[in-house]
Amino acid sequence: MKRLTRFYNYMEDLEFRFTVYENKIHIVNYTKIIEIDKESIRIKSRNKIYSIKGNNLFLEKILDQELLVKGIITKIEVNDV
């Protein structure tokens, strides 16, 4: 029963979050991709805009609610919508 509860919680998870690794960022539950170029990627969640700055940035994985940004990441900015 505990596994089933965890599965349902995972499937219903709508919270925006991102995980930063060396030279990549995994983003889950974004709302919109605003801008993409080699130096900047801007992503919107429900109430924030996230600006990822760096060099040679690109989207390695893009799914309905999931992104993987790769490149040399130098800065992440967060602003209210």
Q: Work out whether strand 32-36 and strand 24-28 pair parallel, antiparallel, or are unpaired.
A: unpaired
Look-up: residue for tokens 């060099």? Answer: 55
Asked whether residue 9 is assigned to any structural domain, the reply reads no
CATH of the domain at 28: 2.60.40.2000
Asked whether residue 3 is assigned to any structural domain, the reply reads no
Is residue 8's pLDDT more than 60? no
Token reading at 41: 């990627």
Residue 27, SS3? strand
- Kindly report, residue by residue over 20-78, the tens digit of the pLDDT: 999 999 999 999 999 999 999 999 998 999 999 999 999 999 998 899 999 999 999 99
Asked whether residue 30 is assigned to any structural domain, the reply reads yes
Rg of the Cα atoms in the chain? 14
Domains in the chain: how many in total?
1
- Tell me the CB-side half-sphere exposure of residue 72, using CA atoms within 13 A: 3
Owning domain of residue 25: 14-80
